[in-house]
Copies of this chain bind each other. A is one copy, B any other.
Amino acid sequence: MKIQLALDRLTIQEAINIAKKAEASIDWIEVGTSLIKEFGMESIYEIKNAFPHKSVVADIKTIDNAKYEFEICYQAGADIATVMGVSPQATLHTCYDVTQKWDKMMMIDLLNTTQETQQKLAIYNKAVFCHHLSKDEQEIGGKSSRSYTNLRAPFFEGAKVAVAGGVNLETMSSLSSLTPDVVIIGASITKAKDIEKAAEAFKNTIEDKGVVK
């Protein structure tokens, strides 16, 4: 199980400083949508430059203009880029094509997708499927709306899956038992008083469960 550190609502330099403190305990570094929309591709470029040996996820949340958006992410150094599952099929297809051509990875954000849509997404057999409880839903509805039993059920056995949205140490244990391939953690690390220790605690939780891959 990999830990993806989501960097959001920060300057690029703040994001780099935080990621440096957490570096030893995390696997993938996410340039959050807020950084991309606030600072553009420079955010991806600078963060990849600071962490050339880490996989960098550009959370660009593409929903149209797929070729252009995915190419500028990969050109800027991203290893993985995100597309919305609620996009038109043409957009998803194009993102997948660009990703294959660049020999990179695509993550599909399942935010607000129906079961029917999720089943259609199962054709993308090399994508990471990200179960995402949005910031806005968390703020209004708390964490009660998350109730997974099998993260891979809508897709296929062996599908790569991720979980995102308000993950903390308390929810981490139950999430771990669902064995996602990637768990995405933001504020629980980035807003911790001791960032290094917070990241370490997540890593230890995973290792205790014996589900590290």
What is A's interface to B at a CB cutoff of 8 Å?
Answer: 8-9, 33-34, 36-43, 60-61, 63-69, 72, 84, 86-88, 90-91, 93-94, 111-112, 134-137, 139-141
Contact = CB atoms under 8 A, between A and B. Distances in A.
Given A37-B41, A38-B72, A91-B136, 6 more contacts: A36-B40, A38-B41, A39-B41, A40-B40, A63-B134, A90-B141
A8 B137 contact: no
A88 B134 contact: yes
A172 B117 CA distance: 33
A66 B136 contact: yes
Q: How many copies does the complex hold?
A: 2
B72 A136 contact: no
A67 B135 CA distance: 10
23 contacts: A8-B65, A33-B64, A34-B69, A37-B37, A37-B41, A37-B72, A38-B41, A40-B40, A61-B61, A63-B111, A65-B134, A65-B136, A84-B86, A86-B86, A86-B112, A88-B134, A90-B136, A90-B139, A90-B140, A90-B141, A91-B136, A93-B140, A94-B139
Contacts of A139: 90, 94
